[in-house]
Amino acid sequence: MGMTPPYLIEVKDLTMHFPVTRGVILQRRVGTVKAVDGVSFQIKAGETLGLVGESGCGKSTTGRAILQLYRPSAGEVRFEGVDLTRIHGEQLRRMRRQVQMIFQDPYASLNPRMTIGDTIGEPIRVHRLRVGKGAVRERVEELLGLVGLNPAYANRYPHEFSGGQRQRIGIARALAVEPKFVVCDEPVSALDVSIQAQVVNLLEELQDKLGLTYLFIAHDLSVVKHISDRVAVMYLGKIVELATGVKLYSMPIHPYSQALLSAVPIPDPKVEQQRRRIILEGDVPSPFNPPDGCHFHTRCPIALEQCKQEAPPFLDYGDGHSAACWRANESGSLMPEVAKQ
Amino acid sequence: MAPLLEVRNLQTHFHTQDGIVKAVDGVSFAVKRGETLGIVGESGCGKSVTSLSMMRLIPCPPGELAGGQILFDGADLLELSEERMRHIRGNRIAMIFQDPMTSLNPVLTVGRQITEALELHLQLGRKAALARATELLHMVGIPSPSKRLESYPHQFSGGMRQRVMIAMAISCNPELLIADEPTTALDVTIQAQILELINQLRDELQTAVIIITHDLGVVAGMTDRVTVMYAGRVVEAGSTTEIFANPRMPYTIGLLRSIPRLDEQEHRKLTPIRGLPPNLIDLPAICPFSPRCDYVQHACLHQNPPLRDVATNHQAACLFDITIDTPIPERPPEGLLV
């Protein structure tokens, strides 16, 4: 008997490079987009890890590469100790039952020609979790009830539902195969504020009830901090900081995390009047040609010569609060000065 | 000081196969020079239709500006000829649209799109217009502006395109700037840059600004006063500090309870608003929020409550004196199905 590994998910040096080609018939490779460039983290069973960052930072690609929707260029993705990047065919298909995904766009991720009962029932049939029409039907109705929809809706089509309801259907489909790990890729971004809370609460309740483990990917820091135990901040294909939500908010280390957090508006005018924003200059550089050294040095207000030359190591600064910055020990006092100017 | 813009009892309807959609149903608000007003609400509450009505950009048919007044500097915009309106639109009132990807013309250079308004409204010559366009791009923080004038919209990133939109909007020094979800499509660090820019312009040019958004955080940081819309109506209005400190309409209270805050130290379970916004066709004469309201009473189903004064500078459309501290009743009153 082997020992139970301490983590449900272990990602090590995950790298996802996409080739950029030119020419129609004679395709030449002219470069690489380094969408994910050496990302490592672990997630415990029952934990939620949040992954935040701005458009194009590689957060969605990380989620997809973990589920093997893209086969990673390098690195390991261990699920219960098994490296998913090394298994294929039937073995991988069986593993896929354990790892599922909830997609961002509830309008595009459901087949408009299938009733929602068929949509949710399909994975049950494919993986033979229930045999016989009646048994599948029963399970579908149970799942609809689980996500707070009327089981009698099974015969309806996606267009008959609102955005929030569709997202519940997407959640029911992901849960149909009884997964242990779920990647939630921007699951509430397309929803109205009052509906977002309904879906966030549902995800939390399901986690408690079914013991699920989540990777929660979103660009809205307030939502990510709310739902996650720990939060990882990504910038240009790399994780720059990882800490518990409260720690990350109260004492961020990386200058990028500090700028990102200071930019998030807080719905309270009294708090807003007191806050100083760190306004970053310019846009995120292209991942096709990321800057040398620390990827953030082109926009970093406290960058040194060293930052342009060498990429900083990702180090633990106590209690699992890790960051990749050459000035990690002084950034906490330097950045507020920048904001005052 | 008289307000620069005063909207009185605006009615914008759309005639559809299924009936008349009263997208904006008796909306009133005002904004002064140098002031920022926030209009808050969710999809379908009528906030964007309100802004398009102010610009007279509602396609008629199927739309119809069915009633009310839009007084801009004393003149009712709804009474003006299309010719006169064209002198105001883009010149004295300008708008930043939500989606920078689709609001720019893809086959014209950015320079051409900015100079068009300058030549039309300010009668500048070609050269003078280009010089002013360069200056504008510089103002909104686009690097090497004279070179970028020759670029097409697809050559810009989302944040840069939004800056181009802002440059176009402020090109004629408008007295009123309407920003419809100006940062929704952008990342937070870029959002911070753009909002900072709008604030600067307001302070320098004494522009009146109307920000239309669903983001209560943006409203808290940017605005002097807030108007909350629901189902085509104003349900709460007042100064920003007052509304956030002492919300009086259960819908506003619900919104504030349903969003997580970055600065909270402990995990607080969110309280969502149950149900969905109503269909705007044939709304019955009841409080439109009553089917979702935690504090619903029988009286809520007898009339659509009018906006009433609940404190100085603060109106709410609720029959009862509900505050954020009012405990949620465990069950609805006898005979009310929720």
pLDDT tens digits, one per residue of B198-237 = 898 889 889 999 999 999 999 999 999 999 999 999 999 9
Among A148-152, B79-83, B158-162, B300-304, which is the least confidently predicted range? B158-162
ipTM of the complex: 0.84
Closest-CA residue in chain B for A222?
B262
Please enumerate in sequence order all residues whose Cβ is within 8 A of that of A265, keeping only pairs 6 or more positions apart, or say none: A272, B215, B217, B218, B220, B221
- Are B270 and A246 an interchain contact pair (Cβ–Cβ within 8 Å)? no
The three-class DSSP label of residue A7 is coil
Least Cα separation, residue B78 to chain A (angstroms): 32
- What does the alpha-carbon distance between residue B223 and residue B27 come to, in Å, rounded to a whole number? 19
Cβ of A225 under 8 Å from any chain B Cβ?
yes
- The answer to whether the Cβ–Cβ distance between A264 and B188 falls below 8 Å is yes
Q: What is the pLDDT of residue A32?
A: 86
Which stretches of A61-165 are assigned E, i.e. beta strand?
A: 74-79, 82-83, 99-102
Distance from the A246 Cα atom to the nearest Cα atom in chain B, whole angstroms: 6
All residues of chain A having their beta carbon less than 8 Å from the beta carbon of residue B43 are: 192
pLDDT averaged over chain B? Answer: 89
The angle formed by the CA atoms of residues A257, A261 and A262, to the nearest 5 degrees, is: 115
Q: What percent of chain A has pLDDT over 90?
A: 72
* pLDDT tens, position by position, A292-331: 999 999 999 999 999 999 999 999 998 889 999 999 988 8
Rounded to the nearest angstrom, the minimum Cα separation between A268 and chain B is: 5
Closest Cβ–Cβ partner in B159, B261, B270 for A200 = B270
d(CA B136, CA B280): 41
* pLDDT tens figures, B243-257: 999 999 999 999 999
The Cα angle at residue A193 between residues A190 and A199, in degrees rounded to 5 = 70
Structure tokens at B218: 């943006």
> A149 vs A153, A162, A175, A200, B299, CA distance in Å?
7, 12, 14, 15, 30
Strands A48-52 and A28-43: unpaired
* 3-state secondary structure (DSSP) of residue B235: strand
From edge to edge, which strands make up the β-sheet containing A322-323?
Answer: A99-102, A181-185, A213-217, A48-52, A230-235, A238-244, A322-323, A315-316
The phi and psi torsions of A12 (rounded to 5 degrees) equal -130, 120
Q: Is the pTM of this model over 0.95?
A: no
pLDDT, one tens digit per residue, over B276-300 is 888 888 888 899 999 999 999 999 9
Q: Which domains does chain A have, with CATH numbers?
A: 8-21+34-98+179-228 (3.40.50.300), 251-341 (no CATH)
Instruction: Classify domain B1-92+175-180+206-337 at the CATH topology level.
Output: Rossmann fold (3.40.50)
Higher pLDDT, A105 or B180: B180
Q: What pLDDT is attached to residue B152?
A: 92
Q: Determine which of A150, A168, A266 to mutate to test the interface with B (most B C-beta atoms within 10 Å).
A: A266
User: In terms of C-beta density within 10 A (0-12 exposed, 13-18 middle, 19 or more buried), how is residue B104 classed?
Assistant: buried
Query: At B337, is the pLDDT very low, low, confident or very high (cuts 50, 70, 90)?
Result: low
Dist CA A166 CA A176 (whole Å): 15
Q: Estimate the share of chain A in helix, then strand, then coil, as percent rounded to the nearest 5.
A: 40, 20, 40
CA dihedral A158, A163, A169, A171 (to 10 degrees): 150
- Selection from B37, B7, B10, B41 nearest residue B230 by Cα: B41
Distance (Å, whole) CA B120 – CA B122: 6
Mean pLDDT of B132-149: 86
Question: Is the Cβ of A300 closer than 8 Å to some Cβ of chain B?
Answer: no
Q: Which amino acid is at A335?
A: M
Strands of A147-249, DSSP E: 181-185, 213-217, 230-235, 238-244
Q: Mean pLDDT across the stretch A62-67? A: 95
- The residue behind tokens 């504020």 is A193
CA angle B224, B228, B233 (to 5 degrees): 135
Rounded Cα distance between B213 and A265, Å, is: 13
pLDDT at B338 over 70: no
| pLDDT tens-digit map of A263-297 | 999 999 999 988 888 888 777 787 788 889 999 99
Closest-approach residue (CA) in chain A for B42 = A192
Reply yes or no: is the peptide bond before residue B62 cis, omega within 30 of 0.
yes
Model confidence at B335: pLDDT above 80:
no
The two structure tokens encoding residue B7 = 């909207």
- Give the three-class secondary structure for A206: helix
**Rounded distance, CA A202 to CA A168, Å?**
9
Q: How far is A89 from chain B (nearest CA, A)?
A: 39
Residues B58-88: pLDDT tens digits? 988 888 888 899 999 989 999 999 999 999 9
State how far Cα A301 lies from the chain centre: 28
Q: Please check the confidence at residue A158 and state whether its pLDDT lies above 90.
A: yes
**In this structure, what are the phi and psi dihedrals at residue A13, rounded to the nearest 5 degrees?**
50, 40
The whole-number pLDDT of residue A1 equals 45
In this prediction, residue B143 carries a pLDDT of 80
CA distance A57 to A327: 22
Collapsed DSSP state (helix, strand, coil) of residue B328: coil
Q: Mean pLDDT across the stretch B136-143?
A: 83
pLDDT at site A108: 86
* Contact across the interface for B221 and A272, Cβ inside 8 Å: yes
B66, B12 Cβ separation under 8 angstroms: yes
Question: For A171-220, how does the pLDDT look when each residue is reduced to its tens digit (9 = 90+)?
Answer: 999 999 999 999 999 999 888 888 899 999 999 999 999 999 999 999 88
What sign does the CA torsion over B53, B59, B60, B64 have? negative
How would residue A5 be classed by pLDDT, with cut points 50, 70 and 90?
A: low
**Are the Cβ atoms of A222 and B220 closer than 8 angstroms?**
no
Q: Which residue has the tokens 């000829």?
A: B81
Calculated CA dihedral for residues A330, A334, A335, A340, nearest 10 degrees: 160
DSSP state of B9: E
Determine the pLDDT at residue A341.
Answer: 59
- A205: CB partners within 8 A, 6+ apart: none
Query: For B217, which residue in chain A has the nearest alpha carbon?
Result: A267
Instruction: Spell out which residues of chain B touch residue A225, defining contact as CB-CB under 8 Å.
Output: 260, 262
> B255–A193: do the CB atoms touch at under 8 Å?
yes
CA atoms of B227 and B10, how far apart (whole Å): 14
Q: What whole-number distance in Å separates Cα of residue A223 and Cα of residue B237? A: 27
Which chain A residues are within 8 Å of B160, Cβ to Cβ?
283
